[in-house]
Structure 1
Amino acid sequence: MYRLYGIDNALDAAGMDAVDLLRAFFLLAAASSLSVSIPSSLRSRFLIYGPRATSTGSGSRPPAGNTSGLLDYLATWQVPHVYFTHFYIASVLSSAFWGFQLFFRGAVFQAVASRVSEEHRLQSMSLTQVMICWLLLAMQGSRRLWESFAFAKPSTSKMWFMHWLLGLGFYLAAGVAIWIEGSGTILTRSVTIDHIKITNAPTMRTFFCVPLFLIASGMQHDCHHFLFSLKKYTLPDHPIFRGIVCPHYGAECVIYLSLAVLAAPPGQVVNKTMLSCLAFVAVNLGLTAQTTKQWYMQKFDKEAVQNRWLMIPYVY
C-alpha cells in the first residue's frame, strides 16, 4: 500500500478510517446546510435558487468592513442551474468507475479498502449485497441523467456555486459509500456475475427493499414528468401534489432509505454510512421543500398550500 502521508496522518490523528471519513463528510455537509438556513441573511442569499430566488445585489465588490455587502458579493458567485446535470454525470461515471474497480479489485479500490479499519472489515456486506446496491445506485444515477436531458427546459435560473460543489462531492462520495462497508468481503473473495443472478433466492431485505426502491423511483419519475408537462411554473394540481408539496423529494429519501437498509452488514439494521448519506439528502431536500412551500404560499393560494406536507406525511 502506498502511504498518502497527509491523508493517513490526518486519519490517524483523528482516530478515523475511510468509513468514518465518509460518514463525517455527509453529516458535516448536512450540518453546514442547516447552519446556512437558520440566519435569514444567509438563507435568502445562499440557500434559495431557481425561480424562488430574489435579487442579491449587482455583483460589485463591497467596501471593506461592509458585512452585508460582502454577503451580497459572495452570493453573486453563481453557476447556471442547468449545472445540476453535472451531478448525474458524476454519479454515472462514479458507478462505472467503481464497478470496474470492484470487479477487478483495482488499485484505487485497494487504496481505499486498505484504509478501512479491521473493525469495519469484520462486519462486511456480502458480495451479493454489494453488487445489488451498486447496480441500483447506477440505475438511479442513469435515470436522473436521462431525465435531466429529456425534461430539460430553457432557463436562466442560477444557483450558488457552493451548491454545485457540494452536490458533486455528494454524488462522488455516494459512489464509494454504497460499497465501502463491503470492502472486507471484496478483499477476500472475487466479484462474479453469479452474485447478481436473478435465480438466486432473495433475502427478506432484498425482497422488501428492491421493490421499495423501484416504486419510489417510478413515483419520482412520474412527478418529474408531470412537472415537465406544466406550461409554466405554477401550483401543481396533480393528485399527489395536492397533499404533498414536493413528493419527488420524499421519493428521493425513500430511495436512499431502501439502499441504507438493503446494504446493512450482518447483525445490523441499517448501513450507517448510507444512513449518513440519507441524512444529507433529507436535510437538503427538506430545506428546499420548505422554501418551495413558502414561495407557493406567497405566489399562489396560501389556504390551498399551508396544510400540505413538505415531502412525506406528517412533516410540515
Structure 2
Amino acid sequence: MDLNPRSLFELAFYSSFLLAITSVLLAKWRLPTLLKYGKTLQGVPSKGGILGSLQSLTVPKKWFGHFYVYSTALALLNVCFLRGFASLLVLTHSARRLYETRCVSKFGKDSRIHLSHYLVGLWFYTAVNCAVFVDRTRTRSPLARLVAVIVFVLSSLDQYRNHLHLSKLVKYTLPTYGLFQLVSSPHYFDEILIYLSLAIYTSSLKMFLCLVWVIVNLSTSALETRSWYAKKFPRAAPSFAIIPYLL
C-alpha cells in the first residue's frame, strides 16, 4: 500500500469519522450523561470515581462561538485560495452561525457543555473545511446544484428564525414557533438540510460523511431534548425529536 501524503490524509479523515460516530453510539449506550448539555444537563446527579471525574470536565456553553470563529477563518482561506462556490457556502454558514452566537443566542452563565463536545466541534469544522479543500469537485447536474443552493438558503433562513425564536423565550420554556410544534429541535433539522445541500452540491464522499455525522450527532442531542420536554411538558411536548414524522 502506497502511503503517500494524500493516502495518509484519507486514512486519517475516514478513521476519525468512524471513531467519532462509534464513540457517540457507545456513549449513548453506556455513558449518556456525556451527551447532555445545557438544559438536559440540569439536575443530573454527579457520580463518583472515574465517571464522576469525566462528567465534571465541562466548559461554558457560550464557547460554541469558538467553532464558528475557527470555521469562518478556515472557510475564508478556502474562498481566497479555491474561489469555489462550495467554500463560499461553508463560509456563509459559518459566518451566520458566528453572528448568531454573538448577537442572537443567549447562553446562561451556568450553562455548560462537556469538554468532549467542544473538542469534537473543533474536529468537525476542521473536517468540513478540509473536505471542501481536498475534494474540489461538484455535481455535474446544474439542476442538482440549483436545488442544493435553494435548500441551503431556505434551511439557513429557517434556522436563523428558529434560533431567534429560542433567544426570545423565557429560559427553559416550551418553544412553539413553526416546526417546534412538531419536533423538539427543528433548528437541528435545518442543520441536516444544510449539510445535505452541501453534500449534493459538492458530490463529495467526504461531505456526505460530514452529513452522516451531523445526522447521528444531532439526532442524539435532539432525542435528549425531546426526553427533557416530555418530562417537563408531558401534555404539550412535540411528537418527534428532529425529523418530522420520522424521528
Scaled by the length of structure 2, the TM-score of the pair is: 0.90
Q: Which residue of 1 aligns with 2:222?
A: 289
Cα contact 2:219–2:242 (8 A) shared by 1: yes
The 3-state SS of whatever aligns with 1:303 is coil
**In 1: Cα distance, 2:149 partner to 2:169 partner:** 31
**In 2: Cα distance, 1:18 partner to 1:314 partner:** 39
**Paired letter, 1:142:** A
Q: Which residue of 2 aligns with 1:24?
A: 15
Kindly state the Cα deviation for residue 51 of structure 1 after the two structures are TM-superposed.
Answer: 1.6
**In 1: Cα distance, 2:209 partner to 2:121 partner:** 15
List gaps (5 residues or longer) in structure 1. 1-8, 59-67, 104-130, 186-201, 265-270
Cα contact 1:88–1:144 (8 A) shared by 2: yes
Kindly state the Cα deviation for residue 16 of structure 1 after the two structures are TM-superposed.
Answer: 4.0
Assess, with a 3 A threshold, how the Cα gap between structure 1 residues 29 and 154 changes in structure 2: closer, same or farther: closer
Give the percent of matched residue pairs that are identical in Structure 1 and Structure 2. 32
Kindly state the Cα deviation for residue 141 of structure 1 after the two structures are TM-superposed.
Answer: 0.1
Cα contact 1:23–1:277 (8 A) shared by 2: no
Q: Which whole-Å deviations, capped at 9, do the CAs of 1:246-296 have from their partners, x for residues lacking one? A: 1110010000001101101xxxxxx21101101111111101100000000
Cα contact 1:244–1:309 (8 A) shared by 2: yes
**In 1: Cα distance, 2:105 partner to 2:191 partner:** 19
Is the counterpart of residue 77 in structure 1 residue 77 in structure 2? no
Larger Rg: 1
Q: Which residue of 2 aligns with 1:228?
A: 167
Q: Which residue of 2 aligns with 1:98?
A: 78
The 3-state SS of whatever aligns with 1:12 is coil
Match of 2:37 among 34, 44, 49: 49
**In 1: Cα distance, 2:78 partner to 2:176 partner:** 41
Q: Which whole-Å deviations, capped at 9, do the CAs of 1:24-68 have from their partners, x for residues lacking one? A: 3223212211110112xx112x1111121134438xxxxxxxxx5
Q: Which residue of 2 aligns with 1:206?
A: 145
**In 2: Cα distance, 1:37 partner to 1:259 partner:** 27
List gaps (5 residues or longer) in structure 2. none
The 3-state SS of whatever aligns with 2:235 is helix
Q: Which residue of 2 aligns with 1:177?
A: 131
Is the counterpart of residue 248 in structure 1 residue 174 in structure 2? no
Q: Which residue of 2 aligns with 1:258?
A: 197
Match of 2:176 among 208, 214, 237: 237
Q: Which whole-Å deviations, capped at 9, do the CAs of 1:74-123 have from their partners, x for residues lacking one? A: 111111111100111111011122333436xxxxxxxxxxxxxxxxxxxx
Question: Superposition RMSD on alpha carbons, in Å?
Answer: 2.3
Assess, with a 3 A threshold, how the Cα gap between structure 1 residues 243 and 254 changes in structure 2: closer, same or farther: same
- Answer with 278-287 or 47-56: which moved more: 47-56
Is the counterpart of residue 275 in structure 1 residue 229 in structure 2? no
Q: Which residue of 1 aligns with 2:246?
A: 315
Assess, with a 3 A threshold, how the Cα gap between structure 1 residues 310 and 55 changes in structure 2: closer, same or farther: closer
**Paired letter, 2:105:** A
Q: Which residue of 2 aligns with 1:110?
A: none
Match of 2:118 among 144, 156, 164: 164
